[in-house]
Amino acid sequence: MPARKIKLISAKPMGKDVRLLTLQSDEPIGFVGGKWLMINPGIILEGGKTAKRAYSILSSDREQHIVSIAVKKIPNGPSSNVLHEIKVGEELEYSGPYGKIYHFYENDIVGPVIIAATDTGITAGMGAVNSLRAADFLPHIKMIWMVEGSSYFLSPDFVQTHIPQEIQPSLQIETIQPTGVPERLEKARLVLQKELERRKPKIAFLSGDESILSIWSEQCLIFGLEERNIRKDPFFQSLQKKNR
Ligand SMILES: Cc1cc2nc3c(=O)[nH]c(=O)nc-3n(C[C@H](O)[C@H](O)[C@H](O)COP(=O)(O)OP(=O)(O)OC[C@H]3O[C@@H](n4cnc5c(N)ncnc54)[C@H](O)[C@@H]3O)c2cc1C
């Protein structure tokens, strides 16, 4: 896909190392909620590669010219640090939207849905529930966000007020151990297990830490979900990051 330009029209600090960016494109982006953009922060890495990184659009696909992303600053991370410094009015190159699996399909049959996210993965979940296609599913959606604490990323209050009102009461936020703590994976497994035993979903949206997503998708398969209805969006993998 050819690179296009997007302009930063607003930037809001959301706590100590999180920045909410609002970006404007002259042409419609053409995304369905849940998809992500590949942003080029203009940094050339050692070896000559560009530090292009993926960011899920958390705002609704009803608006195709102006979108929001939230970026957590990763220590020494080339892209996230640039995105914390760029100034309103500056332009970034991007390509996309990308994401073949993680969104509601036009032919999805209305029924129970679980949106389970870890860490920064909540942005993908927000994009999915804010999409036009999610409208009929809203009374059937359960949303679970597993996060280290209220200052790790977007605040619980921000997430709560930036998803459709209808599903706000169903948002469950669970504290999870930081990456590298062994109990983290077991905690994530137990939380999903409890929910699956309570109510079997027809569709599962899973996003965030890939090490947890592989456990969650296995659990979903055991509970009888069809593979095509387990929609995964891995952001990073904690097991390789034990020493971070
Ligand atoms: C589909 C997709 C959507 C994404 N959406 C978002 C988003 O909405 N907001 C956002 O902040 N990031 C998001 N990311 C992560 C983002 O693409 C970058 O990995 C992140 O910004 C770090 O990039 P960097 O160049 O600063 O650091 P890098 O040098 O690329 O990152 C260093 C390491 O940190 C890992 N990492 C990335 N995020 C985390 C995390 N939260 N916890 C622990 N380790 C992590 C990376 O995988 C990498 O191994 C998404 C990733 C994918 C694949």
Q: Percent of the chain scored above 70 by pLDDT?
A: 97
Q: 162 C-alpha to center of ligand 1: Å?
A: 21
Which residues line ligand 1 at a C-beta cut-off of 6 Å?
36, 51, 53-56, 69-72, 74, 77-81, 119-120, 123, 179, 233, 235-236, 241
Reported as a pLDDT band with limits 50, 70 and 90, residue 208 is very high
Which domains occur in the chain, in start order?
A: 4-98 (2.40.30.10), 113-241 (3.40.50.80)
pTM of the predicted protein model: 0.96
Q: For ligand 1, atom 41, name the residue with the nearest CA.
A: 120
Instruction: Verify cis geometry, omega within 30 degrees of 0, for the bond prior to 97.
Output: yes
pLDDT digits (tens, 9 = 90+) for 74-130: 999 999 999 999 999 999 999 999 999 999 999 999 999 999 999 999 999 999 999
Give yes or no for residue 18 having a pLDDT over 60: yes
Mean pLDDT of the chain: 95
Residue that the structure tokens 């952001």 belong to: 235
Q: 107 C-alpha to center of ligand 1: Å?
A: 31
Cα 226 to Cα 150: distance, rounded to the nearest angstrom: 34
Residue 55 CA, closest ligand 1 atom number: 5
Q: Quick check: 206 and 232 in contact, CB under 8 A?
A: yes
Give yes or no for residue 242 having a pLDDT over 60: no
